[in-house]
Structure 1
Amino acid sequence: MNTVLEIAIQAAIEGGKKIMEVYAQDFSVFTKEDSSPLTEADRQAHESIKAILAETNLPLLSEEGKLTPFEERKNWETFWLVDPLDGTKEFIKRNGEFTVNIALIKNGTPVLGVVFVPVTGMLYFGTEEKGSYYLELGSTDVTLSPEDIIAQAKALPSAQDAAVYTVVASRSHNTPETEAFIDEKRKKHGEVNTISAGSSLKLCLVAEGKAQVYPRLAPTMEWDTAAGHAVAKYAGCQVYDFKSNTELQYNKENLLNPWFVVERA
Structure 2
Amino acid sequence: MTTADLKVLLQDAIVATIDGGKEILDVYVNEFDVEYKEDNSPLTIADKRAHNAIMKTLEKTGVPVLSEEGRSIAFEERSKWPLLWVVDPLDGTKEFIKRNGEFTVNIALVKNGAPIMGVIYVPVEDTLYFGADGFGSRRLTEAAAKISKNTLEDTLNASDALPEKQKRVFTMVGSRSHMSDETAQYFEGIRKEYPDAEVMSRGSSLKICMVAEGSADVYPRFAPTMEWDTAAGHAIAKYAGFEVVRPDDNLPLEYNKEDLLNPWFIVKKG
- Indicate whether the TM-score tops 0.5: yes
Letter in 2 for 1:86: D
Asked if structure 2 preserves the Cα contact closer than 8 Å seen for 1:118 and 1:140, the reply is no
Which residue number corresponds to residue 119 of structure 1? 124
* Structure with greater helix percent: 2
Cα RMSD, aligned residues only: 1.3
SS in 2 for 1:124: strand
SS in 2 for 1:64: helix
CA distance 1:141–1:45, shift in 2 (3 Å): farther
Alpha-carbon distance in structure 1 between the residues aligned to 2:203 and 2:17: 18
Which residue number corresponds to residue 23 of structure 1? 28
Alpha-carbon distance in structure 2 between the residues aligned to 1:39 and 1:141: 28
TM-score of the pair, normalised by structure 1: 0.96
Which residue number corresponds to residue 251 of structure 1? 256
Which residue number corresponds to residue 62 of structure 2? 57
CA drift of 1:157 comes to 0.5
CA drift of 1:73 comes to 0.4
Size of the aligned set, in residue pairs, is 264
Matches within 5 A, 1:130-169: 130-137=135-142, 143-147=148-152, 148-160=154-166, 162-169=167-174
Per-residue CA distance 1:52-79 (angstroms, 9 max, x = gap): 0112100000001252100110111000
- Alignment partner of 1:92 is 2:105: no
Any stretches of 5+ residues in structure 1 without a counterpart? none
Per-residue CA distance 1:114-144 (angstroms, 9 max, x = gap): 0000001000000011110001026579543
Letter in 1 for 2:108: A
Letter in 2 for 1:74: S
Asked if structure 1 preserves the Cα contact closer than 8 Å seen for 2:106 and 2:232, the reply is yes
Alpha-carbon distance in structure 2 between the residues aligned to 1:118 and 1:88: 13
Which residue number corresponds to residue 201 of structure 1? 206
Per-residue CA distance 1:201-258 (angstroms, 9 max, x = gap): 0000000111100000000000000001111110000100122210000011000000
Which residue number corresponds to residue 3 of structure 2? none
Asked if structure 1 preserves the Cα contact closer than 8 Å seen for 2:146 and 2:155, the reply is no
CA drift of 1:187 comes to 1.0
SS in 1 for 2:130: strand
Asked if structure 1 preserves the Cα contact closer than 8 Å seen for 2:117 and 2:130, the reply is yes
CA distance 1:66–1:225, shift in 2 (3 Å): closer
- Alignment partner of 1:45 is 2:50: yes
Alpha-carbon distance in structure 2 between the residues aligned to 1:88 and 1:216: 18
Asked if structure 2 preserves the Cα contact closer than 8 Å seen for 1:85 and 1:101, the reply is yes
Which residue number corresponds to residue 246 of structure 2? 241
CA distance 1:31–1:140, shift in 2 (3 Å): farther
CA drift of 1:264 comes to 2.0
CA distance 1:190–1:91, shift in 2 (3 Å): same
Which residue number corresponds to residue 216 of structure 2? 211
Asked if structure 2 preserves the Cα contact closer than 8 Å seen for 1:46 and 1:65, the reply is no
Asked if structure 1 preserves the Cα contact closer than 8 Å seen for 2:138 and 2:160, the reply is yes
Alpha-carbon distance in structure 2 between the residues aligned to 1:71 and 1:139: 38
Letter in 1 for 2:126: G
Moved more, 129-138 or 221-230: 129-138
Alpha-carbon distance in structure 1 between the residues aligned to 2:255 and 2:151: 27
SS in 2 for 1:252: coil
Alpha-carbon distance in structure 2 between the residues aligned to 1:18 and 1:163: 36
Any stretches of 5+ residues in structure 2 without a counterpart? 1-5
Asked if structure 1 preserves the Cα contact closer than 8 Å seen for 2:147 and 2:155, the reply is no
- Identical columns (%): 54
